[in-house]
Structure 1
Amino acid sequence: MPTSQYVKSSKCSLFTGVWQKPDMSQCYNTEGITQQLKNITSAGIDKENIEEVSTILRDISKKSEYLKAEDIDLAVDIHEKMVPLISNVSANITVNNILVSINDMINTPEEVLVEDGKSERTGKR
């Protein structure tokens, strides 16, 4: 059962009358996502940290349904900075991290992608 931001839900077992552990699988922190992406952008990306950056980006993109237009813009910027470095990393990093994160971002809600597409910076891509 999806929950809203910062809210967890518990269920009472119909058989035992005991409260079950709360389902926190759908909890998310959109500010935390944005801040992580900003931190990556400001720290820079090079061949020494591309594996770590691509792993973080892959993990963030798994929750693409929670991304905002700003997050998409930041993630695209990060991917663009990684492209020139791809020849310096193993195929596993490219296939398991970079391509997976791009694929996951496709699941971002359409209204967020449309909003991001209307932004001044994205229109130039």
Structure 2
Amino acid sequence: MTYVWKHTVLATETNCKSRQAYGDHKRSAKRKGNAFLLTPAEWEWLWLSSGHWHERGKRRGQYVMSRRGDQGAYEVGNVFFQPTEDNAAQGQINHCKEYRQEPCPNCGQKVAVNIAWRHRRKCAPK
């Protein structure tokens, strides 16, 4: 799929780098199963208007484009920019909420379903 970039003026980087970053982001979202509905021009405009264009990245102290509540598509109105540390912390919170908890049949303690086998092995009657 080829994108034609029209009416785009980048004073900060070449269009080639911007296209590469856009493609990387779109492929990453697809790999994670997240819808990505931003056009190249919208994506670029969002980054430039955020003031964090030069701080983009995955490392500490850099900024990422995040989705509100880590839900929905990457689209205008559902994205904001935050430091990678905040994004990682939010991801941990959202990830933990996804797991149901059930009582252990041996001790009655509530255990997340995804790690219940570990708990049962520890508290199994001997």
Q: Mark the structure with the bigger radius of gyration.
A: 2
The structure with higher relative contact order (CA 8 Å, sep 6+) is 1
Instruction: Give the TM-score category using the shorter length.
Output: under 0.3
Structure with the higher strand share, 1 or 2? 2
**TM-score, normalising length: structure 1:** 0.20
**TM-score, normalising length: structure 2:** 0.20
